[in-house]
Amino acid sequence: MAPWLQSPLDILFNYWMSLRGADGQIPQKSHLNPVKFKAVLPDVSILERTGKENYTYRLIGSDILQRFTTLSSGINLFDRLDPNSATFISDWLEAIFHLPCAAHCHYVARYPTGLKRNMSSLYLPLADKDGTLRFLLAYHRATALEGYSATVHESNIEMEQMIVTPIDLGSGVPDLPKTLND
């Protein structure tokens, strides 16, 4: 199918799947070729997992940076998350690495600027050169403007109405709550 006929999620997911090979191994980060998914690159980030609730941004797309005022590579995702959603998100990210699986999420995000957007995100695991699952390829697409919040805060992103759809990559899916605040 022509890339312009595919949804942005399809472009990234199909490219990632093409890197798996016949053995079904999780692709290595070093095998990524950004030219193959350049249409969605502004909404892509890569995070490195160095421990539970320690996910460091290594690459951040330009559209993601526009939604934040204080985000840059080297920052831990969990330093920017609202504590009310951090445990839920941590449980899902850990499951992505330990099963492994992937996840697609829909949610409303409130950014430090007060901007509220409906979001669609895809999370895919990546291995390092030794085959250890250590990186997360993420896609975050703003699907609609929800409005602006009267309360503006400096650093946290707040999530509301999050729904997670797990994606089985051959190892099953976790038995975790699918909605935030379940």
pLDDT for 135 equals 98
| Segment 31-51, tens digit of pLDDT | 999 999 999 999 999 999 999
pTM for this entry:
0.91
CA atoms within a 13 Å half-sphere pointing along the CA-CB vector of 54: 4
Domains identified in the chain and CATH numbers: 8-168 (3.30.450.20)
C-alpha to C-alpha distance for 41 and 66, rounded to whole angstroms? 14
Residue among 67, 50, 66 nearest 136 (CA): 50
pLDDT for 69 equals 65
Compute the mean pLDDT over every residue in the chain, rounded to the nearest whole number: 89
Quickly count helices (H) and strands (E) in the chain: 3, 6
Least confident of 1-5, 32-36, 77-81, 165-169: 1-5
| Segment 121-147, tens digit of pLDDT | 999 999 999 999 999 999 999 888 888
Radius of gyration of the chain (CA): 16
Question: What percentage of the chain reaches a pLDDT higher than 90?
Answer: 63
pLDDT for 68 equals 72
**Average pLDDT for residues 73-84, to the nearest whole number?**
88
Q: Taking a C-beta distance cutoff of 8 angstroms, is the pair 19, 124 a contact?
A: no
- pLDDT greater than 50 at residue 3: no
Q: How confident is residue 54, by pLDDT bands cut at 50, 70 and 90? A: very high
